Structures are given as C-alpha cells and as structure tokens.
Chains A and B, each alone.
Chain A
Amino acid sequence: MPSSDTGSLRYQLSGDALVVAPGIYDALSALIASQAGFGALYLSGASIAYTRYGSPDIGLLGMTEVAETLTAICDRVATPVIVDGDTGFGNALNVIRTVRTFERCGAAAIQLEDQAMPKRCGHLAGKTLVPAAEMAGKVKAAVDARKCEDFLIVARTDAIAVEGYAAALDRAGLYLEAGADVLFVEAPRDRGEMDGIVARFGDKVPLLANMVEGGRTPLLDAAALQAIGYRLAIFPGGTVRALSRLLAEYYGSLREHGGTGPFLDRMNLFDGLNEIIGTPGYLARGRQYDGSNFGGDA
C-alpha cells in the first residue's frame, strides 16, 4: 500500500506543485538543504565523485561508496532522498542488489539510467547505451526488487545524444511499461524538445527535469518547469559548483590575509555552525542520560 504520508515523495509528486530537489553530497549538505525547506533532496553520484575523490563523473564510484554516503544522510535528515543509482552498477542482477541496498539505507527513490557501464555524466560527450530491452529488464528488476512501492524507480534515458530525440522518447515509453514511477529524458536540447516530452508522457507519469549549469538543456526555474509540465526538478551539480567557488574564495582570502578576519561576515561562527549541526540538541539528549558528562545537573 502506498503511504499517505504527506512528506513522502510519492505524495508530493501527486500534487500540482513542482518538487525541487537540490543536489547534496554528504550529510552536512543534506542538513543545510533540508533546513532551507526543500521537500526532496538529490544525492548525485557526480557530486560524490567530485567532493569525496576530486574526480570526474566517469563511473569510478562503487555501489558501496554511494550506500555509505546515503546511509549517513538518511540517518541525519528525514527529507526524502532521491539517489542516483547510475547504471545500477551492472546488469539486472546488480540492479537488484543496488535497489535493495539503497532502499534499506533509507532512500525514497533511485534513479537508473540506460548508459553502458561504466557510465559518464549525461552532459558529457561520448556516452554509449545498453539496448532498450536490456534497460527495460533492469527497470523491471528494480520494480520487483523493492520492498515498498513508495520507493520510487526513476528511469532515465540518455538516448537523445546517442540515438536521437525520437528514439529517446520510445525508450522512455518502454521503461514506463516496465514499471518506472518517474521518467527522466536526459538532456533535451531546447524548449521544444521539453514540450514534446511532456506532450507524450505528461498525463501518464511524473517527469523529471535536470538542470545543469552549463549543460545542454535550457536552464529554467521552478515556475517555468512547472508551466511546461514537469513534476520534479533536480539541480544536482549546482551545489558543488557553488561550493567550489565559495571554497576558492575562502582559501584565497585566508592565503592572502593570513587570517579569516576579512571573510568573517561570510562565515557561520562557532555557535552558528553548531546551531546548524544541532549541537545543542545532541547535548540536551546527552544530559538526559548522563548529566555529569554533558554539563547538566541530571
């Protein structure tokens, strides 16, 4: 039975408002994004590759590494997390293990794509695909493997850049028949292609739009994407693109001035960061059990 939990991703996608899911890459970014009020979060494989390994999104990340990151995030925030499952890390049998693992880790949805292993970022050149029937089998495997139908299967096709627009829509149709809960046609090249995707599938299944700053798809805001007919918009890489700029500025300032004074007005001070992390709450909980160690009088 689908849950009637109003916070669930399935419930949110059944409403009229577009769900915006910003990219996260660890529990701190998840915490800050959820404090900003987003109803869903997107754990991007690319962002884990960028932040944890300083490496590009070329399929080096393993399933266990994503699962560890996902577990830490879901342990800290209650906001539904859409996890990037890439290719499912192999064939249909690997998809089964990946789906079961990520669902157990606490994700609300997994995104699976039809690229050949090892995958690469959807907006990079040189992608190759698995045959459509193979991907349909992987989507079916994912649907069969989940324990709860509130765990959503997002099927992504990368076919526009490889086989063309019409083939991409046909693939999306097959994945829908295979049981996908959300369709994600990656990297439409203009507004017309976006409209075409919505015209074909908009009344059948929630559609996901991927906003990549500097990618191949027009960069639109939530209102515009909702007007086109999308139900879910992800901004996966924006987080690290913003963060990387900020870090360069911070390090540049520290290096130049030999201190953090000139940057202070752009920083959370000691108490400010502890507030975000929830330190006072942790200490209060500690006092309930052991006043002597947590500064209380229990």
Chain B
Amino acid sequence: MAEDNPAALRPKDRRRRLRAMVEERRALLVPGAANALTARVIEDAGFDALYVTGAGLANTLLGVPDIGLVTLTELVQTVEAIGEISSLPMVVDIDTGFGNAINTRRTVRLLERAGACGLQLEDQVFPKKCGHFDGKGVIPVGEMVSKVKAAVDSRDDENLLIMARTDARAIEGMDAAIERAQRYIEAGADLTFVEAPVSVEEMRTITRSLAVPQVANMVVGGRTPLLPQAELAEIGFALVLYANTPLQAAMRAMSEVLGALRRDGGLDAVRDRLADFGERQRLVDKATYDALEKRYAVE
C-alpha cells in the first residue's frame, strides 16, 4: 500500500482526511488497535480510521487492567509502530496527558511527531481508570481547561484533532458533564466525548447540547446502550469508537483454540478457525518485503 500511494502515509494528509470525515458527522466507525498487527487487520477489513486504545495497550502489552500503568514512552512506541505500517488516520488515547498541562504539552508533541491524527485527552485524576470502572475521580474543570489549552497550543498541525473527554457523568451527573464539555470546547477542543451516557436520551442530549462533533464509545458490557451505526448517525455522533472489539474477539478466539489444543492434544477440531500461513503473510504484507529483498539483493 505504501508502495502504491506514498502520500497516503503522510500524517498531514491523514489528519486532513480525518478532519473531513469527522465533520461529516456520519458516525464513522473507529475500531481500536493496541498493536500494529491489529491495525493491519482493521485496514484490511476496510475501515477508514483506527483508534489506539490505552486500555488495550494495558491489557495486551502489560497484561494488566486499564489503571494508568502504561507509560508515555510505551504509548509513543506503539503509535510509531502502527504509523509505520498503516495508512489510516489514528486517533490516540492519551488518557490524562500523563500529568498536568506541561506533561500534556510534551505528550501532544511526542505523539504528533509519532504520527497521531487525533488525541483524546480526559479529565480524570492521574493515574486514570477505565471510563466504565467504578471509583473514577475527575480534576477541577479549570485544570482540565488548562490542559485542553495546552494541547491545542502544543500542536504544530492545526488538523491534529484535540478530543476532550469528560468522565464527569458518573461522578457529577449529566448536566455537569455537558457543562464541562462546553468549557472544553471554549478552550479549543475540536471534538468532545462525554463518556458513559446511560440511555439513548442522554446520548441525544449530548449531540443536541454541544456544537462540535461528538464521540460515542461502544463498550460491550459497559454503561452506554450499544446502538447500530445508522442510529448513532441519526443521533448525530461523528465518531463511534469500538476501542476494544478486536481485542475482545481475539481473546475469545485464543481461549477457544488453545482450550481445544489442550483438550485434544491437536488442532483438528479448530483448524478452520486459524488464519493459514498464506493469510498470515498476506496480512503482514510479506510481498512488499520480498520485493524489497529482491531490489536490494547483492549480485
């Protein structure tokens, strides 16, 4: 892909593309990846954007829950690896920005350089927790406003979208959450993301009350109703995150296949559930590397 269309890989172009898609407000489906392989599968399946998930990174890289143990360096390395092989625009989950406004500045600069096209910054207390966990805390609204401003001021490319997320719904209620989102928009956020509305009515309140494009987060087993894309588009959401769907599918598949291997001592019962050798090499684009090897072969 990179060979055919090198321009598609330029972050500036990807950011312009993402901004245009966001502005259409047609409930763009954005699956999450925590590694480059998942990003390959997302692109192969035909999606137009991907989300780099902090929770997925905690789960896969460290094998731990989403409780703020992943470091900025680990996130940057993941984003660099994904940007290297994917031509899709990447929305990156930067959690709390890894500290205060000054940390947020560093986080934005490093991730912009790593190729991010959108950054999702949330108003939780550091270290953060998954938005659908109990026991979250939010920082004072003024502090988050400063962080959003710092993020906006720190980007080089104005098409790097700053998505401000508020986790206040579960703590301070819906009105306060909308009020916070409004303040973040005034601070320069390009999108807002009111996390974990618990009903369709609340979802409608979000898109009705806030002027900028909105994000919906579809978490299986979470607090927000899972709705089809058409309905989310009708409600007016711009982006719909399926942050951990690929990971959840992979977890189940791995468990079932490994369970069968353990039980049967072989793969006969599950062979049709495995990507075969050719499929695997196709997904990691072996053909491109074979061609490169040929081009640089020593005579």
Contact = CB atoms under 8 A, between A and B. Distances in A.
A99 B211 CA distance: 46
A62 B71 contact: yes
Given A62-B71, A62-B72, A64-B73, A94 B127 contact: yes
Nearest to A59: B99
Contact of A60 (B62, B68, B103, B126): B103
A64 B62 CA distance: 13
Interface residues of B, number: 16
A58 B106 CA distance: 12
B106 A60 contact: yes
Interface string A34-70: 0000000000000000000000001110111100100
B100 A118 contact: yes
A117 B102 CA distance: 12
B69 A62 contact: no
A94 B72 CA distance: 13
Contacts of A91: 68, 127
Given A91-B127, A93-B127, A60 B102 contact: yes
A65 B75 CA distance: 12
Contacts of A90: 68-69, 126-127
B140 to A, nearest CB: 14
B234 interface: no
B167 to A, nearest CB: 17
A93 B67 contact: yes
A118 B103 CA distance: 8
B71 A117 contact: no
B71 A89 contact: yes
Contact of B126 (A63, A68, A97, A117): A117
A93 B69 contact: yes
A118 B97 CA distance: 11
A94 B127 CA distance: 8
A58 to B, nearest CB: 6
A119 to B, nearest CB: 10
Contacts of B62: 97
A94 B74 contact: no
B99 A94 contact: no
Interface in B71-109: 71-74, 98-100, 102-103, 106
A58 B67 CA distance: 23
Nearest to A118: B99
A58 B101 CA distance: 12
A63 B106 contact: no
A116 to B, nearest CB: 10
Contacts of A93: 67-69, 127
B73 A97 contact: no
Contact of A65 (B73, B99, B102): B73
A117 B71 CA distance: 14
Interface in A250-295: none
A118 B99 CA distance: 6
Given A93-B127, A94-B127, A63 B71 contact: yes
Contacts of A65: 73
Given A118-B99, A118-B102, A94 B69 contact: yes
B72 to A, nearest CB: 5
A64 B99 contact: no
A138 to B, nearest CB: 12
Nearest to B62: A97
24 contacts: A58-B102, A59-B99, A59-B100, A59-B103, A60-B99, A60-B103, A62-B98, A64-B71, A65-B73, A68-B73, A90-B68, A90-B69, A90-B126, A90-B127, A91-B68, A93-B68, A93-B127, A94-B68, A97-B69, A117-B99, A117-B126, A118-B100, A118-B102, A118-B103
9 residue pairs, one from A and one from B, having the closest CB atoms: A64-B73, A90-B127, A118-B99, A64-B71, A62-B71, A62-B72, A63-B71, A62-B73, A97-B69
Interface of B: 62, 67-69, 71-74, 98-100, 102-103, 106, 126-127
Given A59-B99, A90-B127, A94-B127, 10 more contacts: A59-B100, A60-B99, A60-B102, A60-B103, A62-B73, A64-B74, A93-B68, A94-B68, A97-B69, A118-B102
